[in-house]
Structure 1
Amino acid sequence: MSNHQTALSPGTHTVDLGNVAQRYHVAGSGPVVLAHPGGPGLSWEYLRMPAAESHVTMVYVEPIGTGASGRLPAHPHGYTRERYAQALDGLIDHLGADRVHLLGHSHGGFVAQHYALTRPDRLAGVILYDSAPVTGPEHYAEAARNMEEFARRNAGRPGLDGVLATWESLGALADDEGTTRAARGILPAYLADYWDHQERYAPLFAITGTYISGLDDRLAPDLVDDRDALGSIRAPALVVAGRHDVICGPRWAGELAAGIPRADLVVLENSGHLGHVEEPDAFARAVTTFVSATAR
């Protein structure tokens, strides 16, 4: 069996990227789509997209510093977008793929934007899923407004106070256990209609988190503001967002799509931050149609 076939055979794989282990998981068949999860630090399993796997080869990245992948010497610091991009370079080389489609969800979308801006020749297309072109105070203020609307819309729901308390605690995360509790505690806010479908969404609460500081190895914040650079993205682009996403919703999706030349925009009307779970068929249709149209 060739290296290419081995690297893309279904299952779990680990590749050594210069003394840092990169774990990834393969499912499906067809054009290759690398999926970079969010957080940073969230376990890859929440991003599993069975509906898409019927049409494309999904390569779920377990980012360095997270889960069973290796840690940097400066852990939990040093996980900048450029460092994640370097890990993607090594993984794409290992896969033996010419060009791939890169899907980034949430924080993974920040990584995917950076990759599209700095390594366009390695991409057949980029999918920015529930992401934004900017982080920092402006992004936080928009999320805070959306959380206030979420609280009004769900007043009286059991457990709402706990969700809001989790939201207020996010800035104080400092370890893996706290990151896992926060990831589970905030989930109802990340779904458009959690309380009427709790049994359906119960498997999501298996999510785990690894604490990643968001600081570089010199302890400076790795902030994002790609708005002025979006016009230079040459790769075909698809922007996907949930109408009710509180953290990276339609405002940011609109800015991404407007800024990237010829980008396609899909808004999932009945989804929050996890459209691949909330509207799996519509999400998979958008992704696979885009991939089929842009695959070489």
Structure 2
Amino acid sequence: MSVRLGDAVVEQRYHVAGRGPVCVAHPGGPGIGWEYLRVPHLERSLTMVYIEPVGTGASGRLDDPQDYTIATYGHFLHQVIGHLGLDTVALLGHSHGGFVAQRYALDHPGHLSGLVLYDTSPVTGEDFWAAAVAGMQDFTRLHVREHPEVAAFADALTTRPEVEDDEEATAILRTIAPAYFHDYYGREADFAPGRAALRMYAAPAWGQEPAFDVRGDLPGLSVPTLVVAGADDFICGPRWARMIHERVPAAELCILQRTGHLGHIEHPGEFAALVADFLTD
């Protein structure tokens, strides 16, 4: 579908799979290809609509990379939801996609029947990124003896926004991907194919906007909300999940044990049952 943004018309792709009530899923990054977020187990009970965000894959590109902002992603998300022609849909946002989902739910609650905030945070800024780097350094200390390559992971995490080439961005993401799992090296045969299929697009990292912070707005969020986080997620783990849970009225919280940033890949059945039960109840 085509979406107007200012004077430009930009292609917005999305992908539909499954059966049952509709759930729109927004991936993270910003700039990670949508495929990593596909959850076949969820498609057994939900019609999943996977957003392919602008700046990635076959969706269009913005003329000015600084325009890749949460407001921009929210604008395109709103157009897709309107295009579906339904009274309400559920919305799942992962990581940076959770930032988009929080803002969208606050701005357009009447369009949503339910909200899943998955491995995300209500705030970014210096404290958030310092905690992420510290978490990556903990991962490095744990694994560097057997896997010396992890010594460079923390630097790779902080240099990603400076990358301009899609292939370079993809190479960095694939390099540091083990840190996003609870036990990548123990289950490398299971996870290596998915790691090799990851795609990262560079331009979205150049968006310009203030640090994200909806903590003061969340008490007004009226959409039924499930907050999910991996207990061992170094970047959007339990600290940030609890921060959301404490502020959103009647939100439910689930911390997945022995899980990193990608619970839908590490424990697909458990993750799908949790989300499907919440959204179809």
TM-score by length of 2: 0.94
The residue aligned with 2:166 is: 176
Q: Does 1:210 align with 2:201?
A: yes
C-alpha distance in 1 between matches for 2:186 and 2:197: 19
In 2, are the aligned partners of 1:80 and 1:215 still within 8 Å (CA)?
A: no
Q: Unaligned regions of 5+ residues in structure 1, if any?
A: 1-14
The residue aligned with 1:134 is: 123
Deviation digits for residues 144-203 of structure 1 (CA, Å, limit 9, x no counterpart): 221122122223122322434422432432221221112111101000001111110012
Deviation digits for residues 217-272 of structure 1 (CA, Å, limit 9, x no counterpart): xxx43420111111011101111100100110000001011111111111110110
Give the CA deviation at 1:215.
5.1
Equivalent pairs counted in the alignment come to 275
The residue aligned with 2:2 is: 16
In 1, are the aligned partners of 2:92 and 2:116 still within 8 Å (CA)?
A: yes
In 2, are the aligned partners of 1:104 and 1:111 still within 8 Å (CA)?
A: yes
Q: Does 1:30 align with 2:20?
A: yes
SS in structure 1 opposite 2:66? coil
SS in structure 1 opposite 2:77? helix
In 2, are the aligned partners of 1:230 and 1:256 still within 8 Å (CA)?
A: yes
In 1, are the aligned partners of 2:55 and 2:204 still within 8 Å (CA)?
A: no
Pairing partner for 1:100 from 86, 89, 93: 89
Alignment of 1:229-244 (within 5 A): 229-244=217-232
Give the CA deviation at 1:65.
1.5
Pairing partner for 2:29 from 17, 36, 39: 39
Q: Unaligned regions of 5+ residues in structure 2, if any?
A: none
Q: Does 1:54 align with 2:40?
A: no
Deviation digits for residues 79-132 of structure 1 (CA, Å, limit 9, x no counterpart): 111111111111112111211111110000000000011111111111111000
Q: Does 1:124 align with 2:113?
A: yes
Give the CA deviation at 1:40.
0.5
The residue aligned with 2:184 is: 194
The residue aligned with 1:286 is: 274
SS in structure 1 opposite 2:23? strand
The residue aligned with 2:73 is: 84
C-alpha distance in 2 between matches for 1:112 and 1:247: 18
Pairing partner for 2:233 from 223, 245, 250: 245
C-alpha distance in 1 between matches for 2:181 and 2:2: 36
C-alpha distance in 2 between matches for 1:231 and 1:207: 36
C-alpha distance in 1 between matches for 2:277 and 2:262: 19
AA matched with 2:26: H
The residue aligned with 1:71 is: 61
Q: Percent identity?
A: 46
C-alpha distance in 2 between matches for 1:234 and 1:144: 33
The residue aligned with 1:6 is: none
Pairing partner for 1:262 from 247, 250, 253: 250
TM-score by length of 1: 0.89
C-alpha distance in 2 between matches for 1:83 and 1:131: 18
Alignment of 1:211-230 (within 5 A): 211-214=202-205, 216=207, 220-230=208-218
C-alpha distance in 1 between matches for 2:264 and 2:176: 17
C-alpha distance in 2 between matches for 1:120 and 1:212: 30
When structure 1 is superposed on structure 2, of 277-286 and 204-213 the one drifting more is 204-213
